[in-house]
Structure 1
């Protein structure tokens, strides 16, 4: 089993990525066909990739991750303050119905800063230093403080497109148990202040087998690509951004910030 170090970033799953093929039919038509088409799209994107297509990528291929590692304590302090303040961080199952197949209500919470290219201004204002840092990420798609309660298991799932890559920055990692992710056939772990970069289109699952909460900064960014893969990935991400399940999540976030009670919260 691997342990994340500053030389070889290894880590956890694409928690905020879309879930497995068993999700409800509310997903965009193009994504519902993904069971048949996603493999073709992903192969075309992989063939155009300017970085390796391995499950776990070398963070040194992404120099901006060094900025996150250098300021991780400031990011953690803003995360803890924002999570503790009202209205706090909602259950992911309440914000994104598309995640209900894998997110136990109340066990996996997410404080969104960016989501599919949309700014969450209320939360960015609560985390100004983090906001400045993540805006330097090339191809930023989403940025989320991902909060996993003790004893939580996120079942196997996959992201929807190889056009996105995920980075985790460990902020609070319990040491009293085993907090880990399986990605493909590999088991990996976080370390506080370290980044890991991975491809969440590989089947992956997560465990927090400890008595304490785990918190990471989860960033999704666009894979560096040449054409035709770049055009394919941009088209798919554009479909996702305009889709009903992303727009519903945005509406639920607005309701949450107005103080309304959400289902599964």
Structure 2
């Protein structure tokens, strides 16, 4: 997928001119601009931290900040913003499953207007998206399965079993005109995969994602793997919907970072950030499938 990415220069300047908002979204307190040699920022600036009153939560957030430095130091495959797909041989198997995944997506999109926006599920996403332009359909969120959604997409779920350390799987739907401003992911202990499923025809950079200084373009049936802990932004400036399968998986790490990361992944579910998201998704799921059942049982 690296062939679809461009680095730096004029492309980055065009992207910057489109975005007047800079948002960095992370689960740690702001700090002075501490950066690595690869410019992966470990603090936030220009945005208030996501505060919760719990002392336990504040302690957990401090551990996350420490773990991010550990993860960067002990990354088994280095810390590039965008990875060559050959680094992960299983990515070819995911691409082979793209037609079956697309077929299941098409059935889900019949009820696209009823799908939740990302901020409906995770309210903290309002810091970077507050309109109806980013819709989702979760199969797995933060390690917790949506059994009903998996039942609706069995081929997608089976294909995901090729990915070691799977933590999140969802369809990510960008409506026409959607622009997700510059931000960074909440934690560098995972990597992100996008599988292009619906990619409208476009000119130049009107449909793309920038990761640090590389502008990448989705391709239908092709995988893009990147580190969302680097600043990134994405946009759809076409007049048609773009859909990717959005996957997070555990970043390959050496000891001791691997052990610390495993512990944090299993502790994270107890934080209010994630508990709220899981509760919101359960409420939406209950309503979505109740309405589907009512339609099935309606007299002709």
TM-score w.r.t. the length of structure 1 is: 0.85
Give the RMSD, CA atoms, in angstroms. 2.2
CA distance, structure 1, for counterparts of residue 268 and residue 59 of structure 2:
9
CA distance, structure 2, for counterparts of residue 161 and residue 86 of structure 1:
29
CA offsets 1:90-128 (integer angstroms, 9 cap, x no match): 111111101111123311011000011100111100001
Distance change in 2, residues 1:173/1:86 (3 Å): closer
Q: 2:105 aligns with which of 56, 76, 79?
A: 79
Distance change in 2, residues 1:30/1:187 (3 Å): farther
CA distance, structure 2, for counterparts of residue 185 and residue 224 of structure 1:
23
Work out whether 1:122 is the aligned partner of 2:148. yes
CA distance, structure 2, for counterparts of residue 198 and residue 149 of structure 1:
22
CA distance, structure 2, for counterparts of residue 238 and residue 124 of structure 1:
22
CA offsets 1:173-209 (integer angstroms, 9 cap, x no match): 1113511111112211111111011111001111111
CA distance, structure 2, for counterparts of residue 258 and residue 118 of structure 1:
16
Matched residue, 2:4: 4
Matched residue, 1:143: 169
Q: Is the 8 A contact 1:140 1:221 kept in 2?
A: yes
Q: 1 or 2, which has the higher helix percentage?
A: 2
Q: Counterpart of 2:4 in 1: which secondary structure?
A: coil
Matched residue, 1:94: 120
Matched residue, 2:25: 19
Work out whether 1:29 is the aligned partner of 2:55. no
Work out whether 1:52 is the aligned partner of 2:72. no
Shift of 1:87: 8.1
Q: Is the 8 A contact 2:93 2:162 kept in 1?
A: no
CA offsets 1:197-232 (integer angstroms, 9 cap, x no match): 111100111111110111000110001112111122
Q: Is the 8 A contact 1:151 1:208 kept in 2?
A: yes
Q: How does 1:131-170 map to 2 (within 5 A)?
A: 131-170=157-196
Matched residue, 2:10: none
Matched residue, 1:198: 226
| Structure number, greater radius of gyration | 2
Distance change in 2, residues 1:141/1:91 (3 Å): same
Gaps of 5+ in 1: 6-17, 261-265
Q: How does 1:250-265 map to 2 (within 5 A)?
A: 250-259=278-287
Q: Is the 8 A contact 2:192 2:248 kept in 1?
A: yes
Distance change in 2, residues 1:86/1:219 (3 Å): closer
Bigger RCO (CA 8 Å, 6+ sep): 1
Q: How many residues of Structure 1 are paired with residues of Structure 2 in the alignment?
A: 244
CA offsets 1:227-248 (integer angstroms, 9 cap, x no match): 1111222233233222112111
Q: Counterpart of 1:217 in 2: which secondary structure?
A: strand
Gaps of 5+ in 2: 6-23, 27-43, 289-300
Tell me which moved more, 49-58 or 237-246.
237-246
Q: Counterpart of 1:259 in 2: which secondary structure?
A: helix
Tell me which moved more, 215-224 or 25-34.
25-34
CA distance, structure 2, for counterparts of residue 181 and residue 136 of structure 1:
25
